[in-house]
Chains A and B, each alone.
Chain A
Amino acid sequence: MNWALRKSGARLVAEPSGRVDETTWEQFSECLISAVRDASAAGVPLVVDLAGLDYMSSRGLRALTMAKREAGDAVKISLAAPNDRMREILAISRYDKLFEIVDDVGPDV
């Protein structure tokens, strides 16, 4: 898994790529928690751009939940641009009920 974080106007955009499974979830989780803290410090929302992600197993999904708990009410987290496979996983796991999912990251604002 690879990870990038960029500032996009009044928000942070995280860009994981590759796959998040039992071998990569810890790195993903650490990066995600760090991004939440950065977003909290800056007072901006965090968008996780899933476009480069092949898929995420249950460990990656649970890392998203831990990040959401870290965020509390301070940081809004949304998931953007999941591929078809990832969109199915989000539906099967019912994570589409726990996170806002948008079709694309949208323009920098």
Chain B
Amino acid sequence: MLVRFWGTRGSLPVAQQADQISGKVARALVAADGRKFANEAEALAFVKSDLEFSTGATFGGATSCVEIEGADEAFIVCDMGSGLREFGLNAGRRCAAGHARLYHVFLSHLHWDHIMGMPFFGPGFDPGATIVIHSGHPDAEQALRRQQEEISFPVPFDWLRAKFEFITHELGKPFLADGVTVTLIRQHHSHDSYGYRFERDGRSVIYSTDSEHKLDDMESEGAFEAFFANADLVICDTMYSLGDSVSLKQDWGHSSNIVAVDLCRAGGAKRLALFHHEPTYSDRDIARMHAETVRYEELVREDRPPLEVICAYDGLEVAI
């Protein structure tokens, strides 16, 4: 399996402002310390090897969209945030090279940042494409149609040319999607959200975003530890610090980096991907949060196997 992140930001798409880019260039020049580069390739090698990620790159600003390669022939996509647009363009090129025009889309929930990419999803206009929308919500079709009504968008849903199918799944009933076994779990979030476990050939990936683990319901976390059990990769909502999630941002429907570590540790997961980054965070803020999470895992590890903590960014690929 291969996991490809197309959108990793929470709540709202963000873009770098001019002074942020200028700051990155300035820090890179300081780091170069007068060094000369023969060509762009040599300079790029320096950027990748010597600069911090937050200086030489960016975590990106598209909202939730994650592709999981590993089905028989279909695309598997989690959520239709603004990252879906780039995925659609890329998928179109792969289809032109012979990839099946079949898409299995799994929606965590129906909030705007998780469906806003749909009106800009190129394959939606492909009459040869089949798009299957999987959800725990019976009102998924209503949500997608509503955002393309005239008051919000000029192209109504009915103008799309792909064949659409909507499937509402029940909890606790694993099902097959083009060779991949999929299981849902209900999560605490406004209007509910659903986490997904994808399994094939002994490998497993969890997609669990927009999931608040309530202070007064810690007993229920055993269900998430079981859902995450022995997963090769857990993609987890880590939008806030724990302190924020139990104070100012309580009931906002999101989790923290250190609760994610503890759930993964208890479940015996191998790797955690920090996801759904706070939109007000700069690249340096996200990098600091990542470093702190790695450190927290070290502090509480004891004699257990290490949990690898990675930080998702738009464009990241993770082989499972």
Contact = CB atoms under 8 A, between A and B. Distances in A.
A94 B296 CA distance: 12
A98 B299 contact: no
A109 B244 CA distance: 34
Interface in B210-255: 215-216, 218, 225, 241-244, 246-247
A39 to B, nearest CB: 21
Interface string A93-105: 1110110000000
B165 interface: no
Main secondary structure of the interface of B (DSSP, over half): helix
B214 to A, nearest CB: 9
Contact of B215 (A55, A66, A85, A89): A66
Main secondary structure of the interface of A (DSSP, over half): helix
Interface stretch (B83-91, B188-196, B258-266): B258-266
Contact of A92 (B215, B246, B258): B258
A55 B295 CA distance: 13
A30 interface: no
B147 to A, nearest CB: 35
A78 B293 CA distance: 25
Pick the most buried of A55, A88, A92: most chain B CB atoms within 10 A of its CB: A92
Contact of B241 (A21, A55, A85, A93): A93
A61 interface: yes
Contacts of A22: 225, 262, 266
Contacts of B295: 88, 92
Contacts, number: 61
A65 B215 contact: yes
A10 B304 CA distance: 42
Contact of B242 (A55, A58, A88): A58
Contacts of A40: none
Contacts of B242: 58, 61-62, 93-95
A59 interface: yes
Nearest to B222: A22
A25 B219 CA distance: 10
Q: Chain A, interface size: which category?
A: 20 to 34
Contact of A98 (B243, B259, B262, B296): B243
Contacts of A66: 215-216
Interface residues of B, number: 22
Contact of A88 (B216, B256, B299): B299
Contacts of A57: 258, 262, 300
B303 to A, nearest CB: 12
Interface string B277-296: 00000000000000011011
Contact of B256 (A21, A25, A55, A58): A58
A104 to B, nearest CB: 22
B243 A97 contact: yes
Contacts of A94: 241-244
A25 B218 CA distance: 10
Given A66-B216, A92-B292, A55 B299 contact: yes
Contacts of B299: 55, 85, 88-89, 92
Contacts of B243: 93-95, 97-98
A98 B242 CA distance: 11
Interface in B282-320: 292-293, 295-296, 299-300
Nearest to B225: A22
Contacts of B296: 88-89, 92-93
Top-8 shortest CB links A-B: A94-B243, A94-B241, A93-B242, A92-B292, A58-B258, A65-B246, A58-B262, A58-B259
Given A58-B242, A65-B247, A92-B258, 5 more contacts: A25-B218, A57-B258, A92-B295, A93-B243, A93-B256
